Structure 1
Amino acid sequence: MSTLNGEYREFHLGNGLLVSLNTIPTNTIASRLSVNHGTVHELKGEEGFSHLLEHILFKDGTHKHFVEESEAIRNSLGKFEPATGLDRTSFPAGIIPSNLELMLEYLSGIVFTPRFDKGIFLAEKAAVIRDIADERSKPYYKDEKEFNRALYGAHPYNQDVFGKATVIRSAKIDDLRDFYSRGFHAGNAHLILAGPLPENVESLIGKYFDNIPGGEPNKFEFPPLNPLQKNVVLERMAKDLLDIEEREESSAFLNLGLVVPPYNSEHSDAMAMIGQLLISYTECRLFRKLRGQDGNIYDINGGYRGTYNKGIIEIFGKVKALNVSQVVDSIFSEFQRLRQEEVPESELRMITDYLDYNIKAELETSQGHVKAIGRKVATGLTPNMWLDKMRGVTPEQIKQAAMLYLPESRENGRYVLLIRNPLLEQ
């Protein structure tokens, strides 16, 4: 795997744990232990269990290192930020090389031999309920939910990783133990390490992970996202966006979503390049057009996302509220331009140079290597393999994909558009 600029090896322990190692000359070591068990593995009545479990594992300590000592260990690791995901729970860390063995011992303990301390359980239940309440209190929460329902429907990508407060409130510690037991084992996990790894790194991993019980992998297979059947326009009042000093300068929030092919399907490479052209790279077409058009935007975001067996082009950002319809017209005019005109080769070269820079910059860090290894295991592509695919996209392929998947017009197309406007007339 020379495209990752290091000495890469990948193997399984006897219990099934997948291990990926990359020795590179950085000053720090980055790691990530991920378990294929997350929100999509929750049953009815378990909504939020993966969220709560992640909190408990983070705070619970180990059978060797109780809570206070575990806090000291976490503080010494440099960076340790567990995260709940749709289909996995991740434990990424950043450390100085001298703390590698301590980190491996601690990580193995909290993830695979948790204590499920009752006091920690009750405290983290309260914390998760507060986290859910904070999320629901955001002024855009209801509108965002409505947009996602219209775009994703019943696709698992639309499941709420925060969960339900009513479920968390009534959860018992044995309920969490049961949920944990269904997915947390070595055969369902992946350990990545990148940085100045010692020669004995494999024996250190074996010392702390060889005795973890194995099991069958339980990776969730996402179904395809259903295509949209019509356009859906959601216009909502957003008083939180009102400029209280100059009302006419208020911003509206705009979010436009299209369903397109997911990764590794026909036209997906062309759609990824369309995402770059429209919105993702520094001088993308929409930024140039809207920034220079009467100051309608300061910034705009989005792009192509093809993971979880769903393909999406999303364009979102704050725009001048008085001119929101003009901005939407400009977006659709850029769709038309891609449908009607071939993209100059020079513009494609600018984008691939931009992507090449980002890859090289990412691979200068141990954290970047961990991310790249994770993507390689998930997709089979190293960063340079993916870049070669982008370099192979032709103007003809882009135009063909645009004709197939970009809306013909505001009136005749399948898309979901959310406009949160503080100047909307009631």
Structure 2
Amino acid sequence: MSGPHLHRLANGFTIAAEPMAGVETIAVGLHVDCGARHEEARTNGLAHLFEHMVFKGAGGRSAREISEAVENVGGYLNAFTSRDQTAFQARLLAENLDLGIELIADLVRKPHFDEGDLIREKDVVLQELGEARDLPDDIINDHFHSTAWPGQPFGRPVLGDEASIAAISVGDLQGWTRKYYRPENMVLAAAGKIDIDRLIGMAEARFGDMETAPRPVAEPAVYEGGSFVEKRALESAHILFGYEGVGYFDADYYPLMLFSQAAGEGSSSRLFQAVREERGLAYSVGSSVAAWRDTGMLTVYLATARREAQHAADLSRGILQQAAIDLTPTELARAKAQIRATILMALESVQGRADRLGFQTLVHGRPLDPAAIVAKIDACTLDQVRAVGARLFEGRETLATVGPALKAAA
């Protein structure tokens, strides 16, 4: 098995690929450096609506013909939008790689953007928004972001809201394409049964004629924190509290991952054992870490009975704070083993490898060596991990609740 290959076309378009032995399939994805944090307030939700709209017709194919083209050969085509990235993914037999690249290229370069389709797709997105609002464990993430990063593009919801979705026009979609779907802003990532030279030739044919332009820069995210409550007459309480973490390039990135893993992730963590197993205070509890280029967060999610909500939240805070003082070598060793296994297991998946290539190349400019990542994780000391935990609590907490109002941290 050879390692990853990186190639840039003359116009700045990047191809990242990794052949894998013993497989007959490929995963290919176009990763674009644009998402909800690049939008204006007036058109919040534009990145996500764009992702929907390109599937309504592109490259001379209707929505049905796009679906049939990929499913006729047993393949799969999908996309997602986040705060800082949009990606279009195809999973196919290796012999159909050209079709996958053709379809993805048509989606982003030759979308039809019909006015009637836009009206109908806005209704679909509004249904998606309504579904998210009906699910407390979903909408609470939007409440957290808008409270932690208020009045900023980074804090706005990926789906937008009724007013911003209604305001989006075909002209806005076309302007979004021109501004962000530029060669320097894209990475085509592929893994599986791949011929590298053939892949580069396909990319050159589909993307090599794109005109260059400066890479847009998103407005920096400035963390503020605070409290938000959405009162609902629910039997349960849904709580998400957390603190500003670190970005991908921070020296504390891996120590923070280890702190969260040891203190709050998984059924063996302190948080799960104390809150659920020993006291039965919550049916769902756990911490997680998220990172972006310029910021990050560590959060704890709790789903519990209303009567237990304040107690469960206070106990969870205390557990994390105590872990920053006395996390043990055994807990740290277990966290390292868990993260190491997650990284290496993902490498055995064709889709996992392609996603890793695209994401890392978009963020870091190149694929990262998994062995080097594992070495950095193994090198983290107990003092480093405790220190990054303590650093969290020096900043302001963000608390979002769906259900009853709660007291924030003192």
Q: TM-score, normalised by structure 1?
A: 0.84
Which runs of 5 or more residues in structure 1 are unaligned? 243-250, 408-412
Alpha-carbon offset, residue 8 of structure 1: 1.6
CA displacement, residues 274-319 of structure 1 (integer Å, 9 cap, x when unaligned) = 1111222441110111122232223323322222411211000212
| Contact map agreement 2:140 2:240 (CA 8 A) in 1 | no
Partner of 1:131: 128
For 1:397, the equivalent position in structure 2 comes to 384
1:78-123: per-residue Cα shift (whole Å, max 9, x none)? 2211122323321012111121111112221221122333443333
Q: What is the correspondence of 1:82-97 to structure 2 with a 5 Å cutoff?
A: 82-97=79-94
Q: Does 1:21 align with 2:3?
A: no
- What's the counterpart of residue 223 of structure 2? 226
CA contact (8 A) 1:17 1:214 kept: no
Q: Which of 64, 67, 72 lines up with 1:71 in the alignment?
A: 67
Aligned to 1:248: none
CA distance in 1, matches of 2:40, 2:232: 35
RMSD between aligned residues: 2.8
Conserved? CA contact 1:32–1:191, under 8 Å? yes
* Alpha-carbon distance in structure 1 between the residues aligned to 2:107 and 2:146: 36
Supply the distance in 1 between the matched residues of 2:376 and 2:263 (Cα, whole angstroms): 19
Deviations 1:173-222 (A, max 9, x none): 233222322222323211001001136332233233323x2212524345
Distance 2:146 2:64 in 1: 43
Residues 1:314 and 2:308 are matched in the alignment: no
Residue 67 of structure 1 and its aligned partner are, at CA, apart by 4.1
> SS of the counterpart of 1:276?
helix
CA distance in 2, matches of 1:137, 1:50: 22
**What is the match of residue 215 of structure 1?**
212
- Alignment CA distance shift 1:402-1:50 (3 Å): closer
CA distance in 2, matches of 1:110, 1:402: 43
Per-residue deviation, 1:396: 1.6
Partners of 1:142 and 1:23 in 2: how far apart? 39
Contact kept? 2:272, 2:285, Cα under 8 Å: yes
Q: Which residue identity lines up with residue 361 of structure 1 in the other structure? A: M
Which residue, out of 188, 192, 199, partners 2:189?
Answer: 192
Cα 1:69/1:269, change in 2 over 3 Å: closer
Secondary structure at 2:117's aligned position in 1? helix
The change in CA–CA distance for 1:78 and 1:300 in structure 2 (over 3 A counts) is farther
Check conservation: 1:112, 1:185, Cα contact below 8 A. no
Per the normalisation by structure 2, the TM-score is 0.87
C-alpha deviation, 1:421, in angstroms: 4.1
In 2, Cα distance between equivalents of 1:201 and 1:142: 40
Match for residue 50 of structure 2? 53
CA contact (8 A) 1:297 1:320 kept: yes
Q: 1:260 aligns with which of 242, 245, 250?
A: 245
Q: Is the 8 A contact 1:36 1:189 kept in 2?
A: yes
User: Relative to structure 2, which stretch is displaced further, 191-200 or 137-146?
Assistant: 137-146
AA aligned to 2:285 is I
Amino acid of the residue matched to residue 203 of structure 1? G
Equivalent position amino acid for 1:205 in 2 = A
Q: Distance in 2 between matches of 1:256 and 1:67?
A: 41
Amino acid at match of 2:71: N
Residues 143 and 97 of structure 1: CA distance in aligned 2, closer, same or farther (over 3 Å): closer
User: C-alpha separation between the residues in 1 aligned to 2:84 and 2:51?
Assistant: 13
Matched, 1:285 2:270: yes
Change (3 A) 1:87 1:398: closer
- SS of residue matched to 1:225: coil
Q: Distance in 1 between matches of 2:321 and 2:127?
A: 46
> Does the CA-based 8 Å contact 2:118-2:170 persist in structure 1?
yes
- Which of 266, 269, 294 does residue 279 from structure 2 map onto? 294
* Match among 236, 239, 242 for residue 233 of structure 2: 239
- SS of 1:300's equivalent in the other structure is strand
Identity over the aligned pairs, expressed in percent?
Answer: 21
For the residues of structure 2 that align with 1:23 and 1:253, how far apart are their CA atoms?
44
**Contact kept? 1:38, 1:87, Cα under 8 Å:** yes
Superposed displacement of residue 253, structure 1? 1.7
Aligned to 1:364: 348
Whether the 8 Å contact between 1:256 and 1:315 is mirrored in structure 2 is yes
Cα distance change of structure 1 residues 128 and 321 upon mapping to structure 2, 3 Å threshold: closer
Aligned equivalent of 2:105, options 105, 108, 122? 108
- Give the distance between the partners of 1:297 and 1:266, measured in 2 at CA: 34
Secondary structure of the structure 1 residue equivalent to 2:124: helix
Rate the CA distance shift 1:122–1:329 in 2: closer, same or farther, 3 A. closer
Question: Does the CA-based 8 Å contact 2:262-2:334 persist in structure 1?
Answer: no
Separation (CA, whole Å) in 1 of partners of 2:24 and 2:37: 37
Q: Distance in 1 between matches of 2:405 and 2:133?
A: 23
Structure 2: segments with no counterpart, 5+ residues:
none
Shift in CA distance, 421/116, structure 1 to aligned 2, threshold 3 Å: closer
Helix, strand or coil for the counterpart of 1:312?
Answer: strand
Aligned residues: 400
Contact 1:338-1:399 at 8 Å conserved across structures: yes
SS at match of 1:121: helix
1:17-39 CA-to-partner distances (Å, cap 9, x unmatched) read 11001100233211111222332
Instruction: Kindly state the Cα deviation for residue 140 of structure 1 after the two structures are TM-superposed.
Output: 7.1
- SS of 2:331 mapped into structure 1: helix
Give, in whole Å, the separation in 2 of the partners of 1:127 and 1:391.
46
Residues 1:14 and 1:45: Cα distance change in structure 2 (over 3 Å):
same
